[in-house]
Structure 1
Amino acid sequence: MPSQLSAEDQAKVDHYLSAPQHQVQRQPFRPWRLLAILLAAVIALGLLSRLLSQLV
């Protein structure tokens, strides 16, 4: 899809995005780590729920 900006506006956008504060190095996305964190959270909340039900 071609850009709908004028050449001048596209140059401004390119200049803005090339600024150092917009060049953040990100770690690669790790779906298995996210799944492990979610699984641990669900298990921990389930155990907490069972513990609270025993106390009440």
Structure 2
Amino acid sequence: MSLKHEWTNHRAYASLGEARLSVFRYIETFYNPRRRHQTLGYKSPEQFEAEHAPAQAA
């Protein structure tokens, strides 16, 4: 899934500010970095990144 598919549904925005506010709302309400995601093994993005960041850095 993507921002375009999940949130905007091909919506036209009146201004850049309106589009930015919509993206902010998506990140803070729908995506939520603490929300568990099925594709991440039911871990939050924060948990998943904490577990995998050291492996990627090496």
When normalised by structure 2's length, the TM-score is 0.31
Whose Rg is larger?
1
| Larger relative contact order (Cα-Cα within 8 Å, sequence gap ≥ 6) | 2
When normalised by structure 1's length, the TM-score is 0.32
